[in-house]
Protein backbone atom coordinates (compact mmCIF):
# COMPACT_ATOMS: atom_id res chain seq x y z
CA UNK A 1 0.00 0.00 0.00
CA UNK A 2 1.36 3.38 -0.92
CA UNK A 3 1.87 6.19 1.58
CA UNK A 4 -0.81 8.21 -0.20
CA UNK A 5 -3.42 5.49 0.42
CA UNK A 6 -2.39 5.14 4.05
CA UNK A 7 -2.82 8.87 4.61
CA UNK A 8 -6.16 8.84 2.79
CA UNK A 9 -7.51 5.95 4.89
CA UNK A 10 -6.20 7.58 8.06
CA UNK A 11 -7.91 10.85 7.19
CA UNK A 12 -11.13 9.00 6.37
CA UNK A 13 -11.03 7.19 9.74
CA UNK A 14 -10.56 10.49 11.58
CA UNK A 15 -13.46 12.10 9.70
CA UNK A 16 -15.76 9.16 10.52
CA UNK A 17 -14.78 9.33 14.20
CA UNK A 18 -15.48 13.08 14.29
CA UNK A 19 -18.87 12.52 12.62
CA UNK A 20 -19.84 9.94 15.28
CA UNK A 21 -18.70 12.26 18.07
CA UNK A 22 -20.67 15.20 16.63
CA UNK A 23 -23.76 13.01 16.33
CA UNK A 24 -23.47 11.97 19.97
CA UNK A 25 -22.94 15.54 21.10
CA UNK A 26 -25.95 16.73 19.07
CA UNK A 27 -28.08 14.00 20.66
CA UNK A 28 -26.82 14.97 24.10
CA UNK A 29 -27.58 18.70 23.74
CA UNK A 30 -31.20 18.00 22.75
CA UNK A 31 -31.83 15.24 25.28
CA UNK A 32 -34.28 15.14 28.19
CA UNK A 33 -31.51 14.28 30.65
CA UNK A 34 -29.55 17.42 29.73
CA UNK A 35 -32.67 19.57 30.14
CA UNK A 36 -33.37 17.98 33.54
CA UNK A 37 -29.77 18.57 34.65
CA UNK A 38 -29.96 22.23 33.60
CA UNK A 39 -33.29 22.84 35.37
CA UNK A 40 -32.07 21.13 38.54
CA UNK A 41 -28.79 23.07 38.61
CA UNK A 42 -30.48 26.44 38.10
CA UNK A 43 -32.76 25.72 41.08
CA UNK A 44 -30.26 23.94 43.38
CA UNK A 45 -29.51 25.92 46.55
CA UNK A 46 -26.02 24.43 46.80
CA UNK A 47 -25.22 25.83 43.34
CA UNK A 48 -26.84 29.24 43.76
CA UNK A 49 -25.15 29.76 47.13
CA UNK A 50 -21.78 29.21 45.41
CA UNK A 51 -22.20 31.05 42.08
CA UNK A 52 -25.28 33.24 42.57
CA UNK A 53 -27.92 33.38 39.85
CA UNK A 54 -26.94 30.88 37.17
CA UNK A 55 -26.13 32.57 33.85
CA UNK A 56 -24.50 29.75 31.88
CA UNK A 57 -24.00 25.99 32.14
CA UNK A 58 -21.50 24.28 29.89
CA UNK A 59 -20.23 20.77 29.57
CA UNK A 60 -16.83 19.75 28.34
CA UNK A 61 -16.91 18.05 24.91
CA UNK A 62 -15.64 14.91 26.63
CA UNK A 63 -17.39 15.60 29.94
CA UNK A 64 -20.33 13.23 29.66
CA UNK A 65 -20.91 9.49 29.53
CA UNK A 66 -23.98 7.37 28.85
CA UNK A 67 -24.82 3.76 29.78
CA UNK A 68 -28.09 2.20 28.67
CA UNK A 69 -29.82 -1.11 29.30
CA UNK A 70 -33.35 -1.49 27.94
CA UNK A 71 -35.49 1.43 29.12
CA UNK A 72 -33.05 2.34 31.90
CA UNK A 73 -29.67 3.98 31.96
CA UNK A 74 -27.27 6.36 33.60
CA UNK A 75 -25.61 9.58 32.50
CA UNK A 76 -22.76 11.48 34.13
CA UNK A 77 -21.91 15.10 33.40
CA UNK A 78 -18.93 17.28 34.25
CA UNK A 79 -20.23 20.84 34.22
CA UNK A 80 -18.93 24.37 34.49
CA UNK A 81 -21.57 26.66 35.99
CA UNK A 82 -21.16 30.43 35.73
CA UNK A 83 -23.21 32.83 37.80
CA UNK A 84 -23.31 36.50 38.67
CA UNK A 85 -20.99 35.91 41.69
CA UNK A 86 -18.53 33.42 40.23
CA UNK A 87 -18.14 30.03 38.65
CA UNK A 88 -17.67 26.47 39.85
CA UNK A 89 -17.35 22.93 38.48
CA UNK A 90 -19.87 20.21 39.31
CA UNK A 91 -20.50 16.54 38.64
CA UNK A 92 -24.07 15.40 38.06
CA UNK A 93 -25.39 11.83 37.90
CA UNK A 94 -28.83 11.00 36.50
CA UNK A 95 -30.57 7.64 36.17
CA UNK A 96 -33.33 6.61 33.83
CA UNK A 97 -35.87 4.11 35.09
CA UNK A 98 -39.14 3.18 33.38
CA UNK A 99 -38.51 5.86 30.76
CA UNK A 100 -38.09 8.75 33.27
CA UNK A 101 -34.90 10.61 34.22
CA UNK A 102 -34.14 11.32 37.88
CA UNK A 103 -31.26 13.32 39.34
CA UNK A 104 -29.30 11.08 41.71
CA UNK A 105 -26.68 13.56 42.89
CA UNK A 106 -24.91 16.76 42.08
CA UNK A 107 -21.66 17.64 43.79
CA UNK A 108 -18.90 20.19 43.47
CA UNK A 109 -15.97 18.86 41.47
Residue 14 belongs to what domain range? 1-30
Whether the model pTM is above 0.85 = no
Classify 53 as helix, strand or coil. Answer: coil
75 and 42 share one domain:
yes
Flag whether pLDDT at 60 surpasses 80. Answer: no
**Helix extents (H) in 1-109:** 3-29, 32-43, 45-51
Give the pLDDT score at 8.
92
Number of independent structural domains in the chain? 2
CATH number of the domain bearing residue 70: 3.10.450
7 and 51 share one domain:
no
- 19-25: long-range pairs with CB below 8 Å, 24+: 21/61, 25/61
26 and 49 share one domain:
no
Of 23-27, 29-33, 44-48, which has the strongest mean pLDDT?
A: 44-48
Instruction: Using DSSP bridges, classify how beta strands 72-83 and 100-108 pair: parallel, antiparallel or unpaired.
Output: unpaired
Mean of per-residue pLDDT scores for the chain: 85
38 and 74 share one domain:
yes
26 and 37 share one domain:
no
Give the pLDDT score at 14.
94
Residue of higher predicted confidence among 64 and 56: 56
Among residues 86, 84, 103, which one has the least CA distance to residue 34? 103
Question: pLDDT tier at 10 (50, 70, 90 boundaries)?
Answer: very high
Amino acid sequence: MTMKKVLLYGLLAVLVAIAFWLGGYAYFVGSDDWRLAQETIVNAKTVTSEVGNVEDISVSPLGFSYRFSGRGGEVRFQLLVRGDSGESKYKAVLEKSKGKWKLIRIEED
